[in-house]
Amino acid sequence: MSGEIQIAGNFVGTGVLASGGQVTTAASQTSGAGLNVPPGTPPTSAVPGDIFNDTTRKNLGISGIAGGSPVWLFGCVQTQPQQTSFLLPVGSPSTICSFNALDAGILSSVGKRLIVTGSGMFSTALGEVPTLTLKLFLLTKALITITTDAFTASLTDQPFKFHFEVLTQTAGASGVVRATGILHISIAAGVVKTYIYSPNNPTTAIDLTSPGAPLIQATANVTQLTSITINETSLHITN
């Protein structure tokens, strides 16, 4: 095709539409996107420039190298702004951050990876020397659990940050995932410790065909914790 073609409505084709020049779609609006790539099966031998929507992976793929693996775009990205400060009573778990529910089956593909990162701060009052337990939950299962050493009393706005990953090893209703996590946290003035969750038995059985909202739960042990705040968090799903 050479020159310019304008279509006022929708264009639906079953073959190949070739253009010798630039192709410009309509601007996306609240009523719909300017370009839609229906989900289906990826081409066996993708050529550079191919764009496809994989029904199984629930991802949009772009082929950059002939015969090579495509680049898979994020299937899901969520961010959460600063959360309300929480007082943590002794031994009482509190949800300090929650995300929107994920689409059913979005993690049900081998190699899918759920990544949750974030940062925050906490304060202890006079006489408070708690340890802190952080857990990442998905579909009511605690996939990651990290417990710190005891904090020093009378701390103000001590920082922490975390990086959690959940890797799909077996897809489906009898899915299996491997979860790992890292927590960097200041437990005393000038003392930063790193805690790593990477158990010897690294897999957890979970139904990956169901929708679920990931959440982070915190528990103060030994004594209460005056306040803990999540400053920001982000969730990504990649291949």
Distance linking the first and last C-alpha atoms of the chain:
36
Q: What is the DSSP string of the chain?
A: --S----SS----SS----SS---PPPPBTTB-S----EEPPPTT--TT-EEEETTTTEEEE--STTSPPEEPPSEEEEE-PPPPEEE-BT--EEEEE-PPBPTTTT-STT-EEEEEEEEEEE--TT---EEEEEEEETTEEEEEEEPPPPPSS--SEEEEEEEEEEEEE-STTEEEEEEEEEEEEEETTEEEEEEE--SS-EEEE-TTS-B--EEEEEEESS-EEEEEEEEEEEEEE-
Give residue-wise pLDDT tens across range 48-89: 677 777 666 556 666 665 555 555 555 557 887 777 899 999
pLDDT at 119: 96
Selected residue with higher pLDDT from 139 and 228: 228
* pLDDT more than 90, % of the chain: 54
Average pLDDT value for residue range 131-149? 96
Question: b/e map of 72-83 (b: 16 or more CB within 10 Å)?
Answer: beebbeeebeeb
Domain ranges of the chain: 39-72, 76-238
pLDDT at 214: 94
pLDDT at 147: 98
Question: Which region among 63-72, 138-147, 171-180, 217-226 has the lowest average model confidence (pLDDT)?
Answer: 63-72
When the pLDDT of each residue in the chain is averaged and rounded to a whole number, the result is 84
Q: Which of 214, 27, 22, 3 is nearest to 115 (CA)?
A: 214
Does 239 have pLDDT greater than 90? no
**What CATH number belongs to 76-238?**
2.60.120.760
Structure tokens at 180: 């790992």
Cα-based distances in Å from 233 to 31, 78, 116, 229: 30, 8, 7, 11
